[in-house]
Amino acid sequence: MATIILGVTGSIAAYKAADVASRLVKLGHSVHCVCTPCALQFVTPLTLMTLSRNPVVSSFEDETGSWVPLHIKLAAMADLFCVLPASANTIACMAQGLAPNALTSLYLACRAPVLIFPAMNGLMWDHPATQQNAATLAARENHQIIGPDNCGILACGDEGKGRLVSADCAIEAIVAALA
Ligand SMILES: Cc1cc2nc3c(=O)[nH]c(=O)nc-3n(C[C@H](O)[C@H](O)[C@H](O)COP(=O)(O)O)c2cc1C
């Protein structure tokens, strides 16, 4: 069974990562959640730790237990690196190679296949900057962008594209990437 890093960012859809983590554990995978500091405004480390059955990394201060930085250790262990949900900001950081937090640092150190599941307001997704960043990531070897959904009611009240794909769709993409 695989070791999956589940990156969680500061999107209203962050709570859905808990369901995906739980389902992956039930499929027998080892799941390690790495949150941006902003993600913790939307979902608690306690929820993610309990459902993933592993400690959650959310800041460099969580990394004091070992002389090898945890984000480097996890990057080396990963069979798959997922970012679900992926915010516009984290997509931009990943595209530009910026590493202000444990998640984005882990991304740079990781050579496993990368699945990115964007979730944001439709105007944010459609912005040329976000589109360019997503295209940059999609063009990288072993990178896939899944979603966002083309329709649905968004948390901001708008209707249209931007919503995170369903948990079923995410699990399907993860299982396919591991096959
Ligand atoms: C209520 C609320 C919901 C938000 N939802 C999203 C979202 O779904 N997608 C997104 O890209 N940004 C969203 N944001 C903005 C991000 O939280 C913000 O850009 C943040 O800097 C992202 O940081 P991170 O990428 O380090 O997690 C939201 C902000 C608030 C206050």
Structure confidence by residue, pLDDT tens digits, 8-59: 999 999 999 999 999 999 999 999 999 999 999 999 999 999 999 999 999 8
Amino acid at 45: P
User: pTM, whole model, 2 decimals?
Assistant: 0.96
For residue 44, give every residue at least 6 positions away whose Cβ sits within 8 Å of its Cβ, in sequence order, or none: none
User: Which of 56-60, 92-96, 100-104, 114-118 shows the lowest per-residue confidence on average (mean pLDDT)?
Assistant: 56-60
| Residue closest by Cα to atom 3 of ligand 1 | 12
For residue 107, give every residue at least 6 positions away whose Cβ sits within 8 Å of its Cβ, in sequence order, or none: 7, 75, 81, 83, 94, 99, 114
For residue 111, give every residue at least 6 positions away whose Cβ sits within 8 Å of its Cβ, in sequence order, or none: 75
Protein residues whose CB sits closer than 6 Å to any atom of ligand 1: 9-13, 36, 38-39, 87-90, 119-120, 124
CB distance 147 to 138 below 8 Å: no
Give the CATH number, domain containing residue 9.
3.40.50.1950
- Candidates 135, 127, 125, 86; CA nearest to 107 is 86
User: Into how many domains does the chain fold?
Assistant: 1
**Catalytic-residue membership of 169:** no
List the catalytic residue out of 33, 110, 156, 169.
156
pLDDT score recorded for residue 118: 98
For residue 171, give every residue at least 6 positions away whose Cβ sits within 8 Å of its Cβ, in sequence order, or none: 20, 23, 24, 27
pLDDT digit string (tens) for 135-167?
999 999 999 999 999 877 777 777 778 999 999
Domain extent, residue 110, equals 3-178
Between CA 72 and CA 148 the distance in angstroms is: 29
